[in-house]
Structure 1
Amino acid sequence: MKQIQADVVVIGGGTAGMGAFRNARLHTDNVYLVESHVFGTTCARVGCMPSKLLIAAAEARHHALHTSPFGIHLNKDSVKVNGEEVMDRVKSERDRFVGFVVSDVEEWPADKRIMGKARFLDAHTVQIDDHTQITAKSFVIATGSHPVITPEWQALGDHVIINDDVFSWDTLPESVAVFGPGVIGLELGQALHRLGVKVKIFGQNGSLGGISDPVVLAEAKAVFGEELELHLNTTARAELDSDGNVKIYWEDNDGTSGVYTAQYLLAAAGRRANVDNIGLENLDIKLDSRGVPVADELTMQTSIPHIFIAGDASNQLPLLHEAADQGKIAGDNAGRYPDITNGLRRSSIGVVFSNPQIAFIGLRFTSVEAQYKPEEYVIGEVSFKNQGRSRVMLVNKGHMRLYAEQGSGRFLGAEILGPAAEHLAHLLAWAHQMKMTVPQMLDMPFYHPVIEEGLRTALRDANAKLKTA
């Protein structure tokens, strides 16, 4: 077995691992990157990029079918979906994005890239399969995450799919049952529906798209419920019928029930960190309730000082930009260990690319409730139903609520359902990171007519409720 003495070992070659490897090498050349499957990122291969390609195709059909309110009349029979062509573009563009990532990896020294599954033997040693042992001064765990599939779903064989499988289809199916109305389930469920696939979405606790604000959530249920069949407070079981299809027996909490037969069950009920089989049992390391090493969010340092963790494996925000930031911090500190420093952690921002879009900035409503008494914060809000630019474009659906600290007027966070939420979210995230107050935000320029005027309306509403010091 090959024996290697290293300064740093990075376990995992995704977004966080690549960032950690790159930044650790700023301090030492004796850094190794270990990957068990393929180098590249979840985002490029099976996540944000291919999903947006599918959503773009869905939007094209949806717009073509909804031109009549503008006085533009199409022959609806001519709006046809060629499933093979849709998936050909999704896969070809996906492969192009992956190619860019892989080409970066291939520029790194080949002898510092090792393929195989790494397991800790002790706090300073990992073994890769049965061919290599590496002893190192520090480590970065960047092993990513995987979709949750229940034992019941596993019995469905290849009729239960995850988002990875969707982007391997050669054509579109006729029907899908989506289990999990979170970000992935809502994005893919709506996209497939708009491409002509029969879709029903099932959930258990009444949530939708990760929204915590009750007013925004109620509006989201109404808006998406007009287009999609949602069962968000449901008990359900799934089995294969004699034809090999998935049969869903469901009952809502209001007593209604039914049976839905689909070609596939899309498992979108969350993701779990890939830390089960990396030898954590051989380490005296502090774990959270889910079995994931606890880490300082500013240094990414675990309870074992020379072991760091980053990306989806860290059980913090499972987003590409967060993984990149965490990887940079973890790699920098692993490379300079024991001289560690706090890294830059940006204001929280998240976007769901549904239509209308959903966005979260800073503190969500539940966090505001937990940290502040009711009299210590105010809420500013706006409906997009009558917002000028939104009505012009016939995208006037949704609601925004933003939160500000009473007394100081400091902007705390927001939850948005509405048009151009991805752009509104960036404006608000920048304001949040700069610790701006609502009055300061209102001093910023607003053009007319733009959707951003809706943001100004919400800020004015909040400002009217503030009693600033």
Structure 2
Amino acid sequence: MKRIETDILVIGAGSGGLSVASGAVQMGARVVLLEGHKMGGDCLNYGCVPSKALIASGKAAYAQAHASQYGVADVVPDVDYAAAKDHVADVIATIAPNDSVERFEGLGVQVISEYGEFISDTEVQAGDTVIKARRIVIATGSSPLVPPIPGLDKVPYLTNETLFDLRERPDHLLIVGGGPIGMEMAQAHRRLGCKVTVIQGSKVLANDDPETVAIVMDTLREEGVEIAEGALAAEIRGKAGAIEVKTKDGRIFKGSHLLIAVGRKSNVDRLNLDRAGIETTKRGIKVDDRLKTTNSRVYAIGDVAGGLQFTHVAGYHAGIVIRSAVLGLPAKAKTSHIPWTTYTAPELAQVGMTEAEAREAHGDKPEVVRFEYEDNDRAIAERKTKGLIKVMVLRGRPIGASIVGAQAGELIGLWALALANDMKMSQIAAMVAPYPTIGEVNKRAAGAYFSPRLFDSVWVKRAVRAVQRWLP
């Protein structure tokens, strides 16, 4: 049995773990990194990267079929589903070197290609190696949650971990789950020529603003995606190519393929956490606002910490841990400034409170300012006028923003910046946006906050008249 002593031990080479490892080693810490499966984790291999690549294929197919509005003839796209998957694989392969063993060993990280499990509060065994570390970071991520639906274990089904290996285009894809993964894959597959049915037990995209979600749902339905809400899957039966999902209310949905996309579960089973005195909850590992577990020498970050499950959250957590575990500085994580985006078309983005959350927290005090895409000149020029922005404002400062429309994921960054730095609406209004850009939507939303104060105020009008009489 080999023994290693190190400053920082990172368990898991996904987004968060890689960020901790690279940051810590470049600052001079000794770092050991464990990964028993694929470097890059879920995001690179099964999540963010392949899904966005497949969405790009769907976007290209849709553009061919809807070009006449730009004076270009519509054509029926000739979709090669296997070639689209080749595109996905090529994108993964292009990014993979950034997350590779070779790159991290080149930085000075000792990479061990084994799973790790705790054998004490400071030691982890990986294969035939025992690592004792001053600080340990658990970054093992999450996996698809497979619900105990009767019959599911008797039929073939896909998750995000197997979907991108599928080479033959589904004739009719049934998707159980109407969250971001389910809705993104529904639209992408519809655009690539599949029939698609989304089966959701409650409301789709339930964490987002209902008004903005409705615009996404209307668009997907216009494109031919069947969306069944309030349809709780009660039984699954059939065989490959002929699958049925029966819901609690008696509805039956038939398709050729089944994708399970009902959520994620934290990867904790292999870790033997009890040996290290680390407590868990139903969502994952229990952490405090410093991301420390119930073992003060051990941190948990990203999906496994049981909070928001986004790659950029894992990266943010990594920064908190580097500040604390590497530099010994105080650092606490918060969530109020964390944005997220669902990459449908139109995109759906959120940061901070939704309108409903703002009302619940502050009553009638928040103001909600809006601006419609149909009044943005760039959106008009590109025929992308479906969408709006809503900003929730309390005492002159934004406390949340909801955006649905073209480039919503890009636009939300400004509001994430504003919330992270406690900025005022006046600072947003002072920004000069280039014309014509979709980015003017943000500027105009800020203007919508000040317009009634300037143009509808009797006192402003009186002051202006007085100044005009005074000016030479």
TM over 0.5: yes
Residue-pair matches, total: 452
2:52 corresponds in structure 1 to 52
**What do residues 52-76 of structure 1 show as CA deviations (whole Å, max 9, x unaligned)?**
1111110111011112233432343
Q: In structure 2, how many angstroms separate the alpha carbons of the residues matched to 1:459 and 1:8? A: 45
1:14 corresponds in structure 2 to 14
Counterpart check, 1:161 vs 2:158: yes
Residue in structure 2 matching 1:118, options 116, 119, 124: 116
Residue in structure 1 matching 2:292, options 278, 301, 308: 301
> Are the counterparts in 2 of residues 295 and 309 from structure 1 also a CA contact under 8 Å?
no
Q: Are residues 329 and 457 of structure 1, via their aligned partners in 2, closer, same or farther at CA, if it must alter by over 3 Å?
A: closer
Instruction: Provide the secondary structure at the position in 1 that maps to 2:286.
Output: coil
Amino acid corresponding to residue 372 of structure 2 in structure 1: S
> Are the counterparts in 1 of residues 370 and 390 from structure 2 also a CA contact under 8 Å?
yes
Q: In structure 1, how many angstroms separate the alpha carbons of the residues matched to 2:361 and 2:26? A: 39
Residue in structure 1 matching 2:367, options 366, 378, 387: 378
Q: In structure 2, how many angstroms separate the alpha carbons of the residues matched to 1:444 and 1:39? A: 41
**What do residues 356-394 of structure 1 show as CA deviations (whole Å, max 9, x unaligned)?**
0011123334542343222x2110113334544323322
CA positional deviation for 1:184: 0.9
> Are the counterparts in 2 of residues 295 and 308 from structure 1 also a CA contact under 8 Å?
no
Counterpart check, 1:392 vs 2:381: yes
> Are the counterparts in 2 of residues 140 and 334 from structure 1 also a CA contact under 8 Å?
no
Residue in structure 2 matching 1:214, options 210, 213, 224: 210
Q: In structure 2, how many angstroms separate the alpha carbons of the residues matched to 1:162 and 1:208? A: 18
> Are the counterparts in 2 of residues 154 and 160 from structure 1 also a CA contact under 8 Å?
no
Q: Are residues 223 and 399 of structure 1, via their aligned partners in 2, closer, same or farther at CA, if it must alter by over 3 Å?
A: farther
Q: Which structure has the higher relative contact order (CA within 8 Å, separation 6+)?
A: 1
Amino acid corresponding to residue 261 of structure 1 in structure 2: K
Counterpart check, 1:223 vs 2:219: yes
> Are the counterparts in 1 of residues 241 and 257 from structure 2 also a CA contact under 8 Å?
no
Counterpart check, 1:438 vs 2:438: no
Amino acid corresponding to residue 271 of structure 2 in structure 1: I
Counterpart check, 1:276 vs 2:276: no
Residue in structure 2 matching 1:363, options 337, 342, 353: 353
Amino acid corresponding to residue 419 of structure 2 in structure 1: H
Residue in structure 1 matching 2:441, options 443, 449, 454: 454
Instruction: Provide the TM-score with structure 2 as the length reference.
Output: 0.87
Q: In structure 1, how many angstroms separate the alpha carbons of the residues matched to 2:431 and 2:74? A: 42
Q: Are residues 98 and 242 of structure 1, via their aligned partners in 2, closer, same or farther at CA, if it must alter by over 3 Å?
A: closer
Residue in structure 2 matching 1:312, options 288, 292, 303: 303
1:203 corresponds in structure 2 to 200
Q: In structure 2, how many angstroms separate the alpha carbons of the residues matched to 1:153 and 1:395? A: 43
Instruction: Provide the TM-score with structure 1 as the length reference.
Output: 0.88
Q: In structure 2, how many angstroms separate the alpha carbons of the residues matched to 1:262 and 1:229? A: 12
CA RMSD of aligned residues (A): 2.7
CA positional deviation for 1:352: 1.4
CA positional deviation for 1:330: 1.8
Q: In structure 2, how many angstroms separate the alpha carbons of the residues matched to 1:450 and 1:24? A: 39
For 1:59-458, what aligned pairs fall within 5 Å after superposition? 59-76=59-76, 79-102=77-100, 103-109=102-108, 112-129=110-127, 131-152=128-149, 155-156=152-153, 159-208=156-205, 210-211=207-208, 213-227=209-223, 228-241=225-238, 245-250=242-247, 258-296=251-289, 299-336=290-327, 339-342=328-331, 347-374=337-364, 376-405=365-394, 408-458=395-445
Q: In structure 2, how many angstroms separate the alpha carbons of the residues matched to 1:445 and 1:8? A: 45
Q: In structure 1, how many angstroms separate the alpha carbons of the residues matched to 2:279 and 2:453? A: 43
Amino acid corresponding to residue 124 of structure 2 in structure 1: V
Q: In structure 2, how many angstroms separate the alpha carbons of the residues matched to 1:243 and 1:268? A: 18
> Are the counterparts in 2 of residues 378 and 466 from structure 1 also a CA contact under 8 Å?
no
Q: In structure 2, how many angstroms separate the alpha carbons of the residues matched to 1:23 and 1:414? A: 31
CA positional deviation for 1:218: 3.2
Instruction: Provide the secondary structure at the position in 2 that maps to 1:322.
Output: helix
Q: In structure 1, how many angstroms separate the alpha carbons of the residues matched to 2:375 and 2:24? A: 52
CA positional deviation for 1:261: 2.1
Q: In structure 2, how many angstroms separate the alpha carbons of the residues matched to 1:242 and 1:378? A: 53
Amino acid corresponding to residue 403 of structure 1 in structure 2: M
> Are the counterparts in 1 of residues 175 and 197 from structure 2 also a CA contact under 8 Å?
yes
CA positional deviation for 1:109: 4.7
Amino acid corresponding to residue 352 of structure 2 in structure 1: G
Instruction: Provide the secondary structure at the position in 1 that maps to 2:296.
Output: coil
> Are the counterparts in 2 of residues 209 and 352 from structure 1 also a CA contact under 8 Å?
no
Instruction: Provide the secondary structure at the position in 1 that maps to 2:232.
Output: strand
Gap regions ≥5 residues in structure 1: none
Q: Are residues 14 and 97 of structure 1, via their aligned partners in 2, closer, same or farther at CA, if it must alter by over 3 Å?
A: same
> Are the counterparts in 2 of residues 6 and 135 from structure 1 also a CA contact under 8 Å?
yes
Q: In structure 2, how many angstroms separate the alpha carbons of the residues matched to 1:280 and 1:75? A: 57
Q: Are residues 291 and 165 of structure 1, via their aligned partners in 2, closer, same or farther at CA, if it must alter by over 3 Å?
A: closer
> Are the counterparts in 1 of residues 124 and 132 from structure 2 also a CA contact under 8 Å?
yes
**What do residues 257-307 of structure 1 show as CA deviations (whole Å, max 9, x unaligned)?**
6432222221111111112331122243344443422232xx322232211
Seq. identity, % = 26
**What do residues 151-183 of structure 1 show as CA deviations (whole Å, max 9, x unaligned)?**
337834672111121211223222211111111
Instruction: Provide the secondary structure at the position in 2 that maps to 1:122.
Output: coil
> Are the counterparts in 2 of residues 186 and 209 from structure 1 also a CA contact under 8 Å?
no
Q: In structure 1, how many angstroms separate the alpha carbons of the residues matched to 2:95 and 2:349? A: 25
Instruction: Provide the secondary structure at the position in 1 that maps to 2:40.
Output: coil
Q: In structure 1, how many angstroms separate the alpha carbons of the residues matched to 2:66 and 2:323? A: 51
